[in-house]
């Protein structure tokens, strides 16, 4: 009678041992964990990028709205969707304009947007110069 030791393979026996299967399963688990972390990070980056794009578009809209109005120096605030904003208009310099009783006024228009993202307050600020013709006071 031919006796074999426990765990010894027979001639021509094929397959994997329990240890090989456990090691392969552990390695696959680690690889899967790393892939999930990378995907989660990519989704967070995509959401942040989308929010930043929305903030830029909202700031552009606010700049256009305030650029069209005839405003005096001052600070204005409001809300546009999930963005709160602060607008400041400050004259920078004046120059005579034409033979009439008019002056050219160049003002700094500044828009700052604020929003909450993942428990932190984020902000973006845009500035432009706005030129208007006004009557001399």
Say if residues 83 and 53 touch (Cβ distance below 8 Å): no
pLDDT tens-place string over residues 83-126:
999 999 888 888 888 878 888 888 888 999 999 988 899 999 99
pLDDT at 49 > cutoff 90: yes
Residue 56: Cβ within 10 Å count = 13
Q: Where do the domains of the chain lie?
A: 18-135
pLDDT at 8 > cutoff 80: no
Per the listing, tokens 């390695």 go with 27
pLDDT at 4 > cutoff 60: no
Task: Tokens for 56, please give them.
Answer: 């830029």
């Amino acid at each position: 009678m031919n006796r074999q030791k426990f765990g010894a393979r027979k001639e021509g026996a094929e397959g994997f041992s329990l240890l090989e299967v456990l090691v392969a399963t552990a390695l696959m688990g680690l690889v899967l964990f790393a892939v999930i972390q990378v995907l989660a990070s990519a989704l967070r980056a995509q959401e942040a990028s989308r929010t930043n794009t929305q903030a830029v578009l909202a700031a552009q809209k606010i700049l256009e709205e305030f650029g069209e109005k005839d405003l005096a120096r001052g600070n204005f605030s409001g809300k546009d969707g999930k963005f709160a904003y602060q607008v400041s208009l400050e004259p920078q310099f004046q120059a005579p304009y034409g033979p009439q009783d008019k002056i050219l006024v160049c003002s700094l228009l500044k828009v700052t947007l604020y929003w909450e993202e993942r428990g932190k307050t984020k902000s973006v600020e845009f500035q432009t110069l706005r030129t208007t013709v006004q009557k001399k006071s």
